[in-house]
Structure 1
Amino acid sequence: MTFRESLEGIEIDQLSGAFFEGWPNPPSTPTFLKLLEQSYAVELAIDEETGNVVGFIQAISDGVLSAYIPLLEVLPEYQGKGIGTDLIKRMFNRLGDLYMIDLLCDNELQEFYEKQGMQKASGMVIRHYQNQAGAVNS
């Protein structure tokens, strides 16, 4: 497994795995690439044999005080191998100078993030599931 902190040299066909498992309306591969490109920071896990991206994490930030991690995904066939843990550690290292790093996750994922040093907190959200594939103008 190779880890990279940029999209440099990544082609759209390297992103074509079954990311967003369980999403009723997942983003298309071009929208997926765009959301990575417009992130403050990304970390990618790449299978050295295939050259394909098999995991990623992205952060959105003001670069001063705060960052939000909206997505951490590892392809199902690569889960349980420490890739998600490596991705989040790499991202936490990159964001370590900021005051706060926040994310929201489903209840069943809280234990994973607690093992990474995060604390449970409460939050509020709005979800427009009809836009889950990406904004109309994406």
Structure 2
Amino acid sequence: MIIYKLYTDELEDVKIAEGFFDGWLNPPDENVHRKILSGSFKSFVAIHEEKKEIIGYINVISDGVLTAYIPFLEVISEYKGQGIGNKLVKMAIEEFKDYYMIDIVCDSDLVHFYEKMGMRKANAMIIRNYDKQSGE
């Protein structure tokens, strides 16, 4: 069974499953991953109850007033296609539904997924420092 929770310090002892940041040249380690979750304004996680491990997450950075930005939505590959990402996005949108804006920058192959969540395509500008992916 998959349970969904707001990430808090109480979940520090719940294992983070292997397989996040798939395809990254310099993926963050578990310590950096936990810093991402705890340092965000809000993070929601999907936990495999029997395995007691985090298998999906979404994090939100916000000013707490008008804006919310979603940097990461990830689900371990073996659990994709089960609605976990869908549920995490819905949780984040519900939490910030009264804000002026909820933004995400995504790859073109994910546009349709986010459109189904009620988002619309827009332009974005980015800088990526791939040598800094590990967070160290």
TM range (shorter): over 0.9
TM-score by length of 1: 0.94
> Could you tell me whether the CA contact under 8 Å between 2:60 and 2:68 is conserved in 1?
yes
Distance 1:101 1:62 in 2: 11
Per-residue CA deviations over 1:68-121 (Å, capped at 9, x if unaligned) read 000000000000000000000001001111100001000001111011110000
- Number of the residue aligned with 1:87: 88
Structure 1, unaligned runs of 5 or more: none
The letter for the 1-side match of 2:109 is E
Query: Are residues 1:21 and 2:6 paired?
Result: no
SS at structure 2 position matched to 1:87: helix
Kindly tell me the number of residue pairs found equivalent between the two proteins: 135
CA displacement at 1:57 relative to structure 2: 0.1
CA displacement at 1:24 relative to structure 2: 1.1
> Could you tell me whether the CA contact under 8 Å between 2:14 and 2:52 is conserved in 1?
no
- Number of the residue aligned with 2:59: 58
Give RMSD over aligned pairs.
1.1
Distance 1:102 1:12 in 2: 31
User: Relative to structure 1, is the Cα distance of residues 59 and 9 closer, same or farther in structure 2, using a 3 angstrom cutoff?
Assistant: same
Runs of 4+ in 1 over 2 A off after TM superposition: 6-9
> Could you tell me whether the CA contact under 8 Å between 1:12 and 1:33 is conserved in 2?
no
Distance 1:37 1:122 in 2: 29
Distance 1:117 1:111 in 2: 10
User: Is the strand fraction higher in 1 or 2?
Assistant: 2
CA displacement at 1:33 relative to structure 2: 0.3
The letter for the 2-side match of 1:35 is I
Distance 2:134 2:62 in 1: 22
Percent of matched pairs sharing the same residue: 44
Distance 2:88 2:7 in 1: 13
CA displacement at 1:9 relative to structure 2: 2.3
User: Relative to structure 1, is the Cα distance of residues 13 and 4 closer, same or farther in structure 2, using a 3 angstrom cutoff?
Assistant: closer
Structure 2, unaligned runs of 5 or more: none
- Number of the residue aligned with 2:44: 43
- Number of the residue aligned with 2:104: 103
- Number of the residue aligned with 1:10: 11
